[in-house]
Amino acid sequence: MTVTTRFAPSPTGKLHVGNIRTALHNWMWAKKQGGRFLLRIDDTDEARSEERFVESIRADLGWLGMSPDGEQRQSGHFDRYERVFEQLRSAGRIYPCYETPQELDLKRKVLLGRGLPPIYDRAALKLSEADRRKLASDGKRPHWRFRLDHDTPIEWSDRIRGDQHFDPALLSDPVIRREDESWLYLLPSVIDDIDMGVTDVVRGEDHVSNTAVQIQMFEALDAAPPAFAHEALLTGVEGKLSKRLGSLGAEHFREEGIEPQALIALLARIGTSDPVEPVADPAPLIERFDFAHFGRAPARFDEEELRMLNAKIVHLLDFDRVAARLPDGMTAEAWDAVRPNLMRVEDADIWWRVIEGPVDTGHDPADRDFLAQAAELAANIDWSGDPWHTLTGALKQTTGRKGRALFLPLRKVLTGHDHGPDMAALLPLIGRERTIARLQP
């Protein structure tokens, strides 16, 4: 059977870093197995779903290089959900309930006060048909629950968490449909996973209890459930679940100049026993992807670590991969000269302006004579080889300067900075005429 994974976001907002990590791991697993990675837009919440978020999700996946092998939308399958709903209702696996949210909350509090699990007591199953007709005549509309089979233990082997065991008698029958007949996540997701041929699901550990009840839904529909992998959730640098992570999305990272390769390299490895490494191609990450390497401890997401990793990846990018984002006229030689000093590709513009000039650096009066000698020597050395070492070698002989006293005044007057790219690579790009003009008082 072809391994098929899916990423199923709700288009009620933009993707955040936690969503991206889930999508990435589903994509990586499918690619490693030679399978399919599908996008499912879970837009059953018609009031909150917006088309602009659908477009944003597609754009973000495209930016990350995770184009899906297929796409579908839940809003196109309402007829299918109705048919399954009627099938399960006829089989006695779905039943109507009439308690208000306030009544349910009071029941939970009473049970907790008695030291009991706050699970639904199935009071609605005791209603007669006459009771239901009376409630309907009074204008009461039901919500609907899936009836768990209390006689069948729920078990599965989780790819990350290992063997899982749930006693269904200790779980509430899950609500699958609201009073206004809109769908909750649980049942439509199962129906679509069956129809899409989904074989593997990677998602956060906050879905473990959902998985337990969904396994019985798969069984009620005579379908084998997918293999599940529930990964630890992301935490912020403060060591606890961070609301800030919910606001960090692809748009934020793009604005910060983060390369998609850096985000992939970090999210592929944090929370695993594998080291985070700067790789510009996801192929080695996919090759080593292994659920056995995932830990149970929360995965720590650190933006500073991402920025440092980004810089290392920028240093690996060849000219052809970045040419369209560089300043007009910037050459491959210039890119190779400046990229070891960049944190972001966009910062290349700073050094291209240094190369092209003009550079308003000013001259330290104490270095006036030294720089005048440098200008004279620069006019007479051979520029066809290594002008920087030729120039500094000649200056060392004529002035007796060495080390910082020799190199720093030259760097500052030629670039306007006291640090930066290797001057041996930078000076040929600045060129003879610009060098002489900048050295002259």
Domain at 80-177: CATH code: 3.90.800.10
The predicted model scores a pTM of 0.91
Task: Check whether 243 is labelled as a binding-site residue.
Answer: yes
pLDDT in tens, 408-417: 999 999 999 9
What's residue 69's pLDDT?
98
What's residue 334's pLDDT?
97
Task: Look at residues 388, 355, 367 and name the one whose alpha carbon lies nearest to residue 440.
Answer: 367
What's residue 403's pLDDT?
95
| Residue 283: alpha-carbon gap to chain centroid | 17
Point out the residues of the chain with pLDDT beneath 70. Answer: 239-243
What's residue 242's pLDDT?
62
What's residue 171's pLDDT?
96
Does 80-177 match 365-439 in CATH topology? Answer: no
Between CA 280 and CA 313 the distance in angstroms is 6
| Cβ contact 246:16 at 8 Å | yes
Burial 398-418 (b: 16+ CB within 10 A, else e): eeebeeeebbebbbbbbbbee
What's residue 62's pLDDT?
97
Positive or negative: CA dihedral 242, 244, 250, 253: negative
What's residue 247's pLDDT?
80
Per domain, the residue ranges of the chain are 1-68+232-316, 80-177, 319-356, 365-439
Is 365-439 a CATH 1.10.287 domain? no
What's residue 365's pLDDT?
87
| Cβ contact 40:8 at 8 Å | yes
Half-sphere exposure of 433 (CA within 13 A, CB side): 3
Q: Which fold has domain 1-68+232-316?
A: Rossmann fold (3.40.50)
